[in-house]
Every structure is written in C-alpha cells, then in structure tokens.
Amino acid sequence: MKANEQFHRDTWVDVNLDAIRHNIQQVSQLIGPEVAVMAVVKANAYGHGYVQVANTALSSGATHLAVAFIDEALFLRKQGILAPVVVLGASRPADAELAAEHNIQLTIYSKEWVLEAKDYLTRGSNLRVHLKCDTGMGRLGIKTAQELKEIERVIAGTAVISIEGIYTHFATADELDKSYTDHQMETFSSLVAELNEKPPLVHASNSAASLQRKDSLFTIIRFGISMYGLSPSDEIAHRLPVELIPALSLHTTIVQIKKLQRGEKISYGATYEASGEEWIGTLPIGYADGWIRKMQGFEVLVDGLRVPIVGRICMDQCMIKLPAAYPQGTKVTLIGRQGDSEIKIDEVAAYLDTIHYEVTCAISARVPRVYWKDGRSISVLNTLI
C-alpha cells in the first residue's frame, strides 16, 4: 500500500530512519567499542514513533532501550521487541512481578520500595533493577552512601531481585560551564565505589555528556535527543564533535486557496485583516496536532519561500498568506527543508521560548508518521487505524 493510502488527511511527519542510524553510528565511533548505547525511546521516541525508532536503533548497534514508564516498556514488548528495556522513571512496587515477567528493568531509589516489591515477586522471578543516584539533579535518586549500601544489603538478602546497574543523571551537561557536571561526576564515582559488587552497567551520560566528556561514559550511554539528530542545546551546538542529521520533518498541503479583498478577515476573533488583495491558503493542521496557538505569526515554507501564518490557529486548521495563487495540493513544510530553505526545530523552539525536545514531543498522535529508509517510504504509523 502506498504511504498516502494509509492516512486520509494531507498532514504528516516524515521520519528519516537513515538519519537515526547515522547519528547512532556517529556516537558509537566517538565513544568507542568498549561503551554500549542505550537508545532512549520514551515519549513515543520523542514524537518519532516507538517501534520504528527502537528497531532502527537496535539494528544500528544499540544494545538497550530506555523508556520513562512501565506501560511504554510493555508496549515495546507487545510489538515484539525483545531487547533489554530500562524504565527510567518511578514504578509501583506492586508492578515488580509484571516487570520481571516481561524482562523489564526498573529504576529504584529506596529501601522501602525493595522491601515492598519483594513480597510481590514470586519464587523463581528475577527483577533486574538499576540504582538511581541523585547527585545534583534533585529529581529521583539515592543521595547518601549509607542509603545506597542499605539498599544493596536488602537486595542481596532476596533471591528475586538483582542489581543490573547503577546510574545518575546530569542537570547541566548541555551547558558550556562544566563545573556542576564535574561535581556530579565526583559524587557519582564516590557512590559507585561504595558498592560491594560493581553491577554490569554503570551509566551517567545523556546525549550532551556522551558527545563531550570521555570521562563520563562508564559502561553505557543513554542516548536520546542526539539520536534524533538534534543538539542537546544551542549553547553547545557549534562544538559537537560529530555531524548530526535531524530525522523529523513536518509537512502539510494547501487545501483551499482564496483571494481576499481589503478589509476581509481571517479566523477566530477576526484578528487578521487583509490590507489589500491577498492570497490566503488554508492548511489542515492545528493546535490539536501540536502546532499550538502560539505559532501564530510564525512562518512556513511554500515553494521554497517563507510565508507567514495569519490569524489564530484553530484546533485542526490554520491559514497562511501566499505571495501568489498557489494551487490546492501544494506542499507546505512546517519543519524541514524545501530546496535551499529550511525551518529548523530550533527555530520553532526559539519562537515558542522552549527547547526542541518539547517541539517534537508535542506533535500529537493524530499526525501520521511516514518512515523513510534508503530514500524510500517503507511504512506508516497511523494510530487512528
């Protein structure tokens, strides 16, 4: 079936799987063969699609996957993905057996959790856990050597839980000033040294640290945003030692074109008024697709030209002002390239006063994702069918 027969509204995301492969290969080369890659695919793979990204990452050399919650890990299992999956967020002790059954590794950070969870685990189960250390992020984690040693001792006393990893998360690795990360590194290293037995996996680096600090790699990196081809921040974008290729672009088409006369108005609130004869195109994308109302006044690409979004953005549609009468069906690019022009996710993020992580995550499930490999579209994710 052709891509456009699998959805019936001409708004879609293109995901370039070759870019994801390229980005993983780039980081793998940089970190060397001794360090493994955990591909972070939480939040629908940052909006790119869980399954296609997970499979591409695994076939490109990643050995582990990471998600935020058990339900995401179960979804990957349901889709036939067998690779180790690590849940980075909090889980309920009552779900310990469910996780063990599906070979899902959990993050833990308190003795109480272990004591409660072990009663849910049946004999013969083995729940693999990662001990999360809070070294300065202030989110989840064990803070003291004493707590850590107690957790290790309690786990050693059960036959149903084993320590697969120990890790921490950096708060400022995407900034040029390295002092806070240095401090987190020291704290983490001293906590790791307190364990009687070193677990198979020791990890600290997100994308920013993976690309910049050889000393923070340990046994595996947690590679998220840069797998999708994006710099962890603007601040370090010009200093990255690898070439990243963005995987995602967002497109739609003009579904109606009309000529306005001076004084005629556009959209809710009638806030936009034509100042003369104007060509206006209607696009089938709106805030329910993640193209939020604050995008009013921003630009899109038509025929390689930047044109403005005029009037309020509606739930399912918005309007653009065109320099000429482009035909219905003309392709419009909201994120990505057209000819020599490009609208980068960074630019959208800057307009919204946010980070690009939020922009890709916000593109809603209603927008179909079309997957490209070797220059051909190979599959479509449409959650509505």
Binding site for ligand PLP (CB under 6 A): 40, 42, 88, 169, 206-208, 222-225, 232
Measured from the CB of residue 175, what is the shortest distance to ligand PLP in angstroms? 12
Name the residue with tokens 């080369």.
29
- Residue with Cβ nearer ligand PLP (232 or 281): 232
Structure tokens belonging to residue 214: 């050889």
List residues with catalytic annotation.
42, 268
Measured from the CB of residue 204, what is the shortest distance to ligand PLP in angstroms? 9
- Residue with Cβ nearer ligand PLP (154 or 361): 361
Please report the DSSP string for 211-271 in residue order: HH-GGG-TTEEEE-GGGGT--S-HHHHTT-SS-----EEEEEE--EEEEEPTT-EETGGG-
CA 75, CA 55: separation in Å to the nearest integer? 13
Structure tokens belonging to residue 8: 């019936």
Q: What count of residues does the chain have?
A: 385
- Residue with Cβ nearer ligand PLP (232 or 286): 232
- Residue with Cβ nearer ligand PLP (223 or 287): 223
- Residue with Cβ nearer ligand PLP (223 or 372): 223
For the beta sheet containing 64-67, the strands, ordered from the edge strand earlier in sequence to the opposite edge, are 201-203, 161-168, 127-133, 104-108, 85-87, 64-67, 36-40, 220-223
Contacts of 158 (CB under 8 A, 6+ apart): 114, 118, 121
Measured from the CB of residue 109, what is the shortest distance to ligand PLP in angstroms? 12
Measured from the CB of residue 211, what is the shortest distance to ligand PLP in angstroms? 9
Q: Are 47 and 362 in contact (CB under 8 A)?
A: yes
Measured from the CB of residue 210, what is the shortest distance to ligand PLP in angstroms? 7
- Residue with Cβ nearer ligand PLP (50 or 120): 50
Spell 95-106 as b/e; 16+ CB within 10 A means b: bbbbbbeeebbb
Calculate the alpha carbon distances from 302 to 138, 307, 309 in Å.
45, 7, 12
Question: Angle at the Cα of 204 (from 202 to 205), degrees rounded to 5?
Answer: 125
CA 167, CA 202: separation in Å to the nearest integer? 6
Question: Angle at the Cα of 350 (from 348 to 355), degrees rounded to 5?
Answer: 90
Residue nearest ligand PLP by beta-carbon distance: 224
Measured from the CB of residue 112, what is the shortest distance to ligand PLP in angstroms? 21
